[in-house]
Homo-oligomer: A and B are copies of this chain.
Amino acid sequence: MPVNPISRFPVPRLEALPADLRARIEEVQQKAGFVPNVFLALAHRPAEWRAFFAYHDALMEKEGGLSKAEREMIVVATSAANRCQYCVVAHGALVRIRSKNPLLADQVAVNYLKADLSARQKAMLDFALKVALEAATVSEADFAALRAQGFSDEDIWDIGAIAAFFALSNRLANLAAIRPNDEFYLMGRVPKAK
């Protein structure tokens, strides 16, 4: 069976990259044991790469009312709606690891309404999908539904902004047909494997 390449566009060699990109990529490689393909595929454009990961980290690494597992659930649910292979597979691994639940990522990717989630988490994903798919109709009633589940306005910004950022990310990955690394598929599924 054929195996697709990493990207439709040229993928720079690590050694050819600006020092700051290389440093960050080597750090990730150290931690994960491999270089996730998105780091290489987007490096085709260093200025865009820097903005992309700065934005990503500002949203995904911060503290706040949403746990890191919940932030990753937003990514998986909205990326599945956008049919983005890279993001569903890569962030599915992060959902499994951060939630310590090997089933949750696949459940959320197919149909979060039937996943093992709390009512609060389903409300979070209802809103994330509304921002992802029909942001023009977001209304005060949506904010009220989230506040009723205990979310603060800062949390609502986070939910919406993560959905918005991955609207960008999913489109880039689909544009370039970025291939998820083989390593992601098994991460977080086998307890001791980590």
A127-167 interface bits toward B, Cβ cutoff 8 Å, 1 = contact, 0 = none: 00001100111110001000000000100010011011101
A84 to B174, CA, bound (A): 22
A162-194 interface bits toward B, Cβ cutoff 8 Å, 1 = contact, 0 = none: 011101111110111101001001100110000
Q: How many copies of this chain?
A: 6
State how many angstroms separate the Cβ of A41 from the closest Cβ of chain B. 11
Q: With a CB–CB cut-off of 8 A, which chain B residues contact A50?
A: 54
A8 to B1, CA, bound (A): 32
A47 to B99, CA, bound (A): 26
Q: With a CB–CB cut-off of 8 A, which chain B residues contact A170?
A: 135
The reply on A22 being an interface residue by CB < 8 A is no
Q: With a CB–CB cut-off of 8 A, which chain B residues contact A34?
A: none
A1-30 interface bits toward B, Cβ cutoff 8 Å, 1 = contact, 0 = none: 111100011000000000000000000000
Most chain-B Cβ atoms within 10 A of its Cβ — which of A52, A82, A132, A135?
A135
State how many angstroms separate the Cβ of A24 from the closest Cβ of chain B. 14
- A sample of 29 cross-chain residue pairs with beta-carbon separation below 8 angstroms, ordered by A number, consists of A1-B101, A1-B117, A3-B116, A4-B115, A8-B143, A48-B58, A50-B54, A51-B58, A55-B55, A83-B110, A83-B136, A84-B111, A89-B106, A89-B107, A102-B186, A109-B109, A109-B110, A111-B174, A131-B171, A135-B174, A135-B175, A157-B175, A160-B172, A160-B175, A164-B168, A164-B171, A185-B189, A186-B189, A186-B190
